[in-house]
Amino acid sequence: MSFAAAHRTMPFITRVRIENYKSIAHCDVTLGQFTVLLGLNAAGKSNFLDALRFVRDVLVNGPDVAVLTHGGWEGVLRRVPEPTTSCTIGLEFHLLAITHDRRPWVGRYEITLAPATATRAGRDAGSGVRIQREFCEMRHPGAKGGIDAERFLVRDRAGTGRRQKLLELSRRADTEPFGELHEALTEMFFYSPDLSSLREARPNTPTAGALGEDGSDLGPALAALGDQERDRISQYLGVIVPGVVEAGPTDPSADYIAARISFATDGETEPHVFRAESMSEGTIRAIGLLTALFQPDAREGWMPLIAVEEPELALHPLAAGALYDALTEASEYVQVLATTQSAELFDRKEADLSAIRVVAAEHGVTVIGEVDPVSRSIVADGLATTAELLRSDQLRPVIEPPARPDEQPEGEE
C-alpha cells in the first residue's frame, strides 16, 4: 500500500466548476471522499461524470481525439437554450504524497476549449480544437500564492504540430510538480460496464489483471485480487445475492478466465458453481462493481478516483444497503463518485445526506447542488424519505450563481 492510501483523509477532486459542457450551463460543485449525484432519469448526472472523463481523455489522447470520442463539438458544447462556442472545466484538487519523502499539493487546474476557427481560405486550421485557455496552480497546503506556488497560464493555442495540439499539462508531464497532477488525473477510473464484456472469458496473459472500464477482463481481475479483497467481495455479494458463498475466477491456470460464483442451497453439502455466462444480470453486475471498488490500484493508492454510474442497476432494492456499505468502505482509500436515480441508497438512518448532490433538469439545462434546507428538514423530521421527495420531483438542489465575468481567479494575471 502506498503512503497516500494509508493517509487518505482528503478527496482528490474537491471542487468542480463546469460551463457549457453538454447539458450543463454552469455548475460549481464541491465533492467529498464519497459523493452521490442523485436525480431522475435524463437530469444530466452522466454529463457531470463525462466532463471529468473528458479532462482525463484530453490529457491521455489529446484534444482532437477526446472531442471526437465524446460526440464531436455537436455533442460536447451546450446547445440549449442557445448554442455556445466554448466549454470550461475547472478542478480544485488535493494531491496526497505518494511516498514519505514527498509533500502533498493543493491547487486548481482549468481548461477552456473551443472549435478551431477556419482560415481565410475557409479550411480548418488543422487541429479542430483551439485551447483558448489553460491554467494550473499548485502549492503546498498552508502556503500562500506568489513565489510559493508553481503555475502556468496558456492562452489561445492552436496548431498542426503534434506538441502544439497537446495541453500544457501534458507537455509538462515529465516535470515536477505538474507530472504528479498529470499522473493523478490520467489515472481516474470511470466504470461503465457492458454486460457482454462482464461475461466474456478473457485470455490469461502475464499482463492480465486490470479491470477494464467497460467491465472487460473481469476474470483476470478477480484472479489478481488478494485473498482479503476477494473475501470482501464474496461477503458483500452474499448479502446482495443470498446463497452466494464465494466469488472468484475460474481456473487461474487456464488459457481463458471468467468470473465464477459458488452458490449454496439448503440441504446440500456441496455448493453449485456458476460461470459468468450462467449468472443473472444483477449478479454479474454486482461482481463487476465490487471488483472495481476493491481493485489493487485503488486500494493501494495509485488510483485517486473511481466514478460509477447507476451501481444499483438490475439489483433488487433490498440490495441498496449492501451497495451503500461497499461504496463507503471503498471511499476509505479512494475517492468514490457515483450517479443514481434510486434514493433507496440513502433510506437508512446512518446515511449522510451531505454526500448527496441533487441533479435536476430545468428547461433542458442541468443544475447541480447540495440538498436544499427545506428537503433536509423534511427528511430529518420524518415527514418524507429522500426517495419519496425524489419520486415526487420535490428534491431540489442549492444552486451556486456563476462568477461575474470580471472576477479574476486568485493567482492569475
Write the secondary structure of the chain as one string of H (helix), E (strand) and C (coil): CCHHHHCCCCCCEEEEEEEEECCEEEEEEECCCEEEEECCCCCCHHHHHHHHHHHHHHHHHCHHHHHHHCCHHHHHECCCCCCCCCEEEEEEEEECCCCCCCCCEEEEEEEEEEECCECCCCCECCCCEEEEEEEEEEECCCCCCHHHCEEEEEEEECCCCCHHHCCHHHHCCCCCCHHHHHHHHHCCEEECCCHHHHHCCEECCCCCCCCCCCCCCHHHHHHHCCHHHHHHHHHHHHHHCCCEEEEEECCCCCCEECEEEEECCCCCCCCEEEEHHHCCHHHHHHHHHHHHHHCHHHHCCCCCEEEEECCCCCCCHHHHHHHHHHHHHHCCCCEEEEEECCHHHHCCCCCCHHHEEEEEEECCEEEEEEECHHHHHHHHCCCCCHHHHHHCCCCCEECCCCCCCCCCCCCCC
Domains of the chain with CATH codes: 3-188+303-398 (3.40.50.300), 201-301 (no CATH)
The whole-angstrom separation of Cα 389 and Cα 395 is: 5
Q: What is the pLDDT of residues 329-378, one digit of tens each?
A: 999 999 999 999 988 888 776 678 899 999 999 999 999 999 999 988 98
- In the prediction, which pLDDT does 122 show? 39
What is the arithmetic mean of pLDDT over 183-208?
93
Residue 154: how many other CB atoms lie within 10 Å? 16
- Percentage of residues of the chain with pLDDT beyond 70: 88
How far is the C-alpha of 131 from the C-alpha of 308, rounded, in Å? 29
Q: How confident is the model at residue 197 (pLDDT cuts 50, 70, 90)?
A: very high
C-alpha distance across the termini of the chain, in Å: 40
Question: What are the C-alpha distances in Å from 252 to residues 202, 214, 248?
Answer: 11, 21, 10
- The pLDDT-based confidence of 85 (bands split at 50, 70, 90) is very high
C-alpha span between 269 and 248 (Å, rounded)? 20
Within 10 Å of residue 177's Cβ, how many Cβ atoms?
Answer: 18
Least confident of 218-222, 233-237, 311-315, 389-393: 389-393
Please report the pLDDT score of residue 391 as a whole number: 83
Q: What is the mean pLDDT of residues 83-106?
A: 90
Cell numbers given for 289: 462493481
The radius of gyration computed from the CA coordinates of the chain, to the nearest angstrom, equals: 22
CB 114 within 8 A of CB 157: no
pLDDT level of residue 119 (50, 70, 90 thresholds): very low
pTM over cut 0.75? yes
Q: Is pLDDT above 50 for 120?
A: no
Asked if residue 115 has a cis previous peptide bond (ω within 30° of 0), the answer is no
Report pLDDT digits (tens) over 250-294.
998 899 999 999 998 776 778 899 999 999 999 999 999 999 999
Question: Looking at residues 32-52, what average pLDDT do you find?
Answer: 96
What are the respective helix, strand and coil percentages of the chain, to the nearest 5?
30, 25, 40
Q: Average pLDDT for residues 309-338, to the nearest whole number? A: 93
Give me the residue label for grid cell 491547487.
107
Residue-averaged pLDDT of the chain: 88
The count of C-alpha atoms lying within 13 angstroms of the C-alpha of 130, restricted to the half-sphere facing its C-beta, is 13
Is 399 a residue whose pLDDT tops 60?
yes
pLDDT of residue 13: 98
**For residues 58 and 180, what is the distance between their CA atoms, to the nearest angstrom?**
17
